[in-house]
Structure formats: structure tokens, C-alpha cells
Structure 1
Amino acid sequence: MRTILQINWIVQSDRIFPLKLHSPKAEAARDAIAPFTELIKSPEYIHQTNLL
């Protein structure tokens, strides 16, 4: 059985996805958006990815 990850996404007007790393679903969310985003910044607490 396949599990669907349910997350409320916030996409900024400049097509940036902010991803909080301390969230319990952060790893699964990062894996889910990896095919259609690229990492822009990766400070300690939040990653910023750009929508391709």
C-alpha cells in the first residue's frame, strides 16, 4: 500500500518552497518535492528550494 504525504505547501510568489527542517515530516516532504525543485539555500533550520 502506498502512503500519501499530506502537507500544506506554501509557495512564495518567487516560486520558493521554504521547508522547516525541524518538522517531523521534513524528510518525507523533502523527498516528495525533490523531483521538481532545486535547492537554493540550506541554512541550519530551513531549506529553500526553487520550483522548476
Structure 2
Amino acid sequence: MYFVGLDIVGNKIMEINVFSPGALPQASALNEEDYTTVIIENLEKKVSLNKRN
């Protein structure tokens, strides 16, 4: 898995979201960091490497 989301309540992991991790806009706003660009660039790099093999 390249990217997943975790639902955490207290000190327990309640759910691991592998099909729809979401929350990127909220994480980006919270940390004032554009995570979407980094993730898209890395996914494009991964696809490019897979095409070569």
C-alpha cells in the first residue's frame, strides 16, 4: 500500500482506510503544508518506474 488513512480514537486505531484514505485537505490546512502535490508527484514517479519494468 502506498497511501492509507488511519482513524484513531485516544490511543487506539479504530480503522485503516485503504480504498479511500481522504482527509488530505484537512491535514494540509492543519499543518499549512500542501501534501496533495507531494503525493501526486510521488504517484507519478511510481507509475513511471512501473512502466519501465
With the length of structure 2 as denominator, give the TM-score of the two structures: 0.25
The structure where helix makes up a greater share of residues is 2
Larger RCO, structures 1/2 (Cα 8 Å, 6+ apart)? 1
TM (norm. structure 1) is 0.25
